[in-house]
Amino acid sequence: MFGIGFSELLLIAVIALLVLGPERLPKAARFAGLWVRRARAQWYSVKTELERELATEDLRRSLSATGGALLGPDWRHDLVRPGIGLYGGLPFAEAAPVVRLSVPILQIRAVAAGEAVGYGAAWRAERETRVATISAGYADGLIRAMGGRARVFHGGRALPMLGRVSMDLITVDVTEAPGLAPGDALELLGPRQTIDALAGAAGTIGYEILTSLGSRYARRYEGGEAIPLAER
């Protein structure tokens, strides 16, 4: 498996530059052979030998993101990058979801049997159906592939999306929720539907669901003080 990162030799050079400064780079580079031979199998011994050769006790190791951190203490080393686990995403199945997304209903109409809804007439009513139009779409990061497959929630009731996801609108079958009215909100993300559940309906992963959420949503932060981006 390959990705963006450092070769073993370059990694030794980076350690020297960050920890000791450029004047020690040649000495660190001599240790590249040790790293190539042993780093993957013997993290602890390599760390000890590097520290002795570089005359420092401050080399810290970081190997694991959320998945690795869940494997146990032997995989956590000195630092972990919990990443998706902080947002209630897999593989941290026991994590509490921390992202909620609720979208208001713009209108509700009665659609007769045989009538179609949405672009391309992708969905056609088999019976009289109450159809709500909600104010969100792929311009807000709700992936088009989830159209006709995903669900939204009202209380504990799951309500299916109908037809295609358009730029600014989604249609939902609310026949089984007769008390709903324009202005009420339907929940796309929350305790009843995690980022990974919604991702499954869209044929993607929770990371894409989170990173796609657009700037048009009104955001509210709870449980701590939000720091404006300009002040970070």
> Alpha-carbon distance 47 to 61, whole Å?
8
Q: Return the DSSP state at 125.
A: -
pLDDT band at 225 (very low <50, low <70, confident <90, very high): low
Where do runs of H (alpha helix) occur along the chain?
8-15, 25-29, 32-38, 43-54, 66-69, 195-202, 206-212
pLDDT band at 39 (very low <50, low <70, confident <90, very high): very low
φ and ψ at residue 193, rounded to 5 degrees? -145, 110
> Alpha-carbon distance 125 to 129, whole Å?
7
Q: Return the DSSP state at 97.
A: P
pLDDT at 31 over 90: no
Instruction: Please return the burial class of 189, using the count of CB atoms within 10 Å of its CB with bins 0-12, 13-18 and 19+.
Output: buried
One-letter amino acid at 36 equals V
CA angle 149, 152, 155 (to 5 degrees): 145
pLDDT at 213 over 60: yes
Look over the chain and give the mean of its residue pLDDT values, rounded to a whole number.
81
Q: Which residues contact 95 (CB under 8 A, 6 or more apart)?
A: 85, 86, 87, 88, 89
pLDDT band at 30 (very low <50, low <70, confident <90, very high): very low
Q: Give the pLDDT score at 151.
A: 97
Contact in structure between 137 and 170 (CB atoms under 8 Å): yes
Strands 185-189 and 170-173: unpaired
φ and ψ at residue 125, rounded to 5 degrees? -70, 135
CATH architecture group of domain 101-212? Beta Barrel (2.40)
One-letter amino acid at 1 equals M
For the chain, the structural domain boundaries read: 8-85, 101-212
Contact in structure between 58 and 48 (CB atoms under 8 Å): no
pLDDT band at 37 (very low <50, low <70, confident <90, very high): very low
More confident residue, 117 or 68: 117
Highest mean pLDDT among 6-20, 33-47, 128-142: 128-142
Is the four-CA dihedral 24, 26, 27, 33 of positive or negative sign? positive
Peptide bond into 73 cis (omega under 30): no
pLDDT at 110 over 90: yes
Q: Return the DSSP state at 111.
A: E
Contact in structure between 188 and 198 (CB atoms under 8 Å): yes
pLDDT band at 168 (very low <50, low <70, confident <90, very high): very high
